[in-house]
A and B are shown apart, each in its own frame.
Chain A
């Protein structure tokens, strides 16, 4: 092995060890060094391989814009001088980063090209990644049944082929899709599967815990579940806090549990950890205000994401405070509808607006109950 390859390997190994520890920023720095070294030696194969890991680490560290630019360099590399698998990895990850930003047609065009690319280079062993991204696109459009079917396919091909995305990656997304489909029996079955696997990465263990918490929400915290969920959620929170990465993905799921458990102060304090996605923030602020209104009105707490319909209250405790919360909730939901408009148009869906309109109807029902003499 030549000297540069030894050093390249050392940097790559160090990058992987930081990646495993969850220190993604340091991992990205090592991968960048390795890539610069490969570049200096015109070593295209290794350059493109680490471009993927550099881009992935940057994304995990929350540097999404630089991550995309990095992945694009790998995605547009020459397949005759690099390993097509690495090009594919960069390409699919670049598409992943664009899901909410680009039109459905444009995304489909890339996904179709990716199918052709895999065929051309005989790369069926990594097709699960493509199925996963296709599922992700459908999930984002809330075309939930199509998403579920694709996630099942990605999981199945992943089991049959060499692992690339970790098992938890597929299973967690499948569980979330089943949650949105409100299919509690299937969710219960798959949560069992995700929990049975031994994981190497901390983030995978976290996904298994979050899937369990999702199931608690689906079961409406019956019996002792509220107590168990609270303790699991607190433990998960400290694990998330210890991670040196972008945790908005995990945070959203966790905050939903705390919201349902009525830990409003904690939710409010941690909302900044959701990142700067205005749509998500508006929905969350709306749900928080609506939940506070319910408590002020003496009503039981409701999981607004899980419940398809909420029956209008028969009896309430009059409260000025609740009126303020309801007004705020309505404003936040309307904001969210405005934010949703842009990506809904691109993704050819109306799911988000309709979902938010259902939330607004819940607000309106409480407002009219409050207005009743």
Chain B
């Protein structure tokens, strides 16, 4: 025997409302969307109609109402559509109207008939007052979301064609009547609906359009400026580059842009997805190619199929086609900006260089197009390999000193003074990228991976003898400050103004610090305590070398200088090394500056 399933209406409503939508208040989008659909239906019959949606809100009274001048409902509409879960007025009506009007006329959005009922997630009671076009009867539908409703005729009140929905907000949802909340939601989801959505006493809240909806063709510069303004207003960012989106098949319009904020490569790209001017999924992180982490934007894709809750789009063949085309568009734009706007491209590289390099490493097309134009930190400043090649006079292979992050930044200055081309790779992927470039374009550079002590520093035995007293004193000063692992040597190097450079391994310094933490954590007599101690002792033997420059006049004059000035030779070199300071180094640096300040006070 067949039996009817029992439905717990209230539970179902709560479930729908709480689980279907990504952020609170999205039911407002549903109500506005219903209003939009109603206006579109009326326009189907009366094209001259100027649609409008009015919102009235009172935090004090806990009321929120939406009034549209759409087609309105009669008793049968209410019974069929408002009081039955899953029936969609739009779907049924679209079928009815299909014979009367072309598809593009009825650009309705709602499809599932569950959006309206979600308002019970925020309201204790909902009143719907409505009058259908061509009818004099005003109907009022009231429900508390408990599976029961009342439907009465209200011929006693004057009511123009259309519908008003009044929500008596639950005490915990009272903030939904605040202007800022409404403004934010409307701007986010329904900003582009083509008729005014106004808050009574506050005026129109939505912009009603966006540059890509404008019918008239504008010169490209004007369009670019309009899109730039739009991005500033909607996203609050000044884009590094604007990428207009206008795909024909599947149809997609909108704008993408390169964000000025560094993403570190770890934030995904983000795009707001709209469908026929209504926000379906905001801050989506999967539509844009994952390599383009620096891209943001907004698109309207009418061909997408939304999920039942309209909080996402279905990943069908249309979705994948759009994804592929947007990927191509971003690639083409990057190549275009590099070719036509080198300054803008450099700016992009400065903010997102790491990410671009990572993309180039794995993407042949981007590599070929951009590798010569992405700047690196070199001995000649921030420079791309292409820029260097332009200045190259001979056809011979140029030695390219590849410095890793282990090499102090000061070595770049040394290379510059000797006219060597050196690139300091702050990340291993830069090393990989340059090696790949040299392998794919043989004959341009000869990669030299220098050891810690470069040939760019000449030994200076004469000066070493002359400065031996200084070396001894400085070594003593360093030892007194606990820096037992630093060796002091005299070398001769350019530029002459460089007093000293420190060659140390960042990895060793990091390990020393970690071992110190471990030693604190593990008692000496524990199983690991002994090896940790051995390991600490072994690493103490790993010396860093402080090279004093025999060419620098200031160094020669420091023979009888007070200790804090001598110690400055170390701190200056430490800061020049450019790496991250350990806690110990920071403490020493502060101590030295204090000592210098106090020394200055003495008569």
Contacts and interface: CB of A to CB of B under 8 A. Distances in A.
A32 B514 CA distance: 14
A102 B431 CA distance: 39
B428 A11 contact: yes
B511 A70 contact: yes
B539 A66 contact: yes
Interface residues of A, number: 30
B535 A113 contact: no
B507 A72 contact: no
B522 A76 contact: yes
B265 A7 contact: yes
A331 interface: no
A72 B532 contact: yes
Contact of B535 (A4, A6, A33, A65): A65
Contact of B527 (A3, A14, A68, A113): A113
Nearest to A15: B428
B438 to A, nearest CB: 15
Given A65-B542, A66-B507, A69-B514, A98 B428 contact: no
Interface string B537-561: 0110110000000000000000000
Contact of B293 (A3, A75, A109): A3
A330 B530 CA distance: 36
Interface string B285-299: 000001001000000
A101 B267 CA distance: 47
B583 to A, nearest CB: 16
Interface string A44-70: 000000000000000000000110111
Interface in B257-271: 265-268
Contacts of A65: 535, 538-539, 541-542
Nearest to A64: B538
Q: Which of B427, B531, B542 has the most CB of A within 10 A?
A: B531
Nearest to B530: A106
Contacts of B542: 65-66
Given A69-B514, A72-B515, A30 B538 contact: no
Contacts of A4: 266
B235 interface: no
A304 to B, nearest CB: 32
B353 to A, nearest CB: 15
Interface in A1-60: 2-4, 6-7, 10-11, 14, 26, 29-30, 32-33
Interface residues of B, number: 36
B534 interface: yes
A253 to B, nearest CB: 26
B290 A66 contact: no
A69 B265 contact: no
Contacts of B508: 66
Interface in B474-518: 505, 507-508, 511-512, 514-515, 518
Contacts of A68: 531, 535, 538
Given A66-B507, A76-B522, A102 B530 contact: yes
Interface string B420-461: 000000011101100000000000000000000000000000
Contact of A30 (B293, B428, B505): B428
A110 interface: yes
Contact of A110 (B511, B518, B521, B527): B527
A76 B521 contact: yes
Interface in A75-117: 75-76, 94, 98, 101-102, 106, 109-110, 113
Contacts of A3: 265-268, 290, 293
Given A68-B538, A69-B511, A94-B531, A26 B518 contact: no
A68 B531 CA distance: 9
B514 A98 contact: no
A29 B510 CA distance: 13
B584 to A, nearest CB: 16
Given A3-B266, A65-B538, A66-B507, A72 B531 contact: yes
A69 B513 CA distance: 10
A26 B431 CA distance: 10
A73 interface: yes
- With a 10 A CB-CB cut-off, give which of A72, A73, A110 has the most chain B CB atoms: A72
Nearest to A29: B428
Contacts of B541: 65
A110 B293 CA distance: 47
A48 to B, nearest CB: 13
A10 B427 CA distance: 13
A173 B358 CA distance: 41
A70 B531 CA distance: 12
B531 A32 contact: no
Given A3-B265, A29-B404, A65-B542, A109 B515 contact: no
Given A66-B507, A69-B511, A98-B534, A26 B266 contact: no
Contacts of B522: 76
Given A3-B267, A4-B266, A109-B527, A33 B428 contact: yes
B360 to A, nearest CB: 13
B528 interface: yes
B541 to A, nearest CB: 7
Ordered nearest first, which 7 A-B pairs have the shortest CB separation?
Answer: A69-B511, A65-B538, A3-B266, A69-B535, A29-B428, A68-B535, A4-B266
Given A32-B507, A72-B532, 11 more contacts: A3-B293, A4-B266, A26-B428, A65-B541, A65-B542, A66-B511, A68-B531, A70-B511, A72-B535, A76-B528, A106-B530
Interface of A: 2-4, 6-7, 10-11, 14, 26, 29-30, 32-33, 65-66, 68-70, 72-73, 75-76, 94, 98, 101-102, 106, 109-110, 113
18 contacts: A2-B266, A3-B265, A3-B290, A4-B266, A29-B428, A65-B542, A66-B505, A66-B542, A69-B511, A69-B538, A69-B539, A72-B515, A72-B528, A72-B531, A72-B532, A98-B531, A102-B531, A106-B530
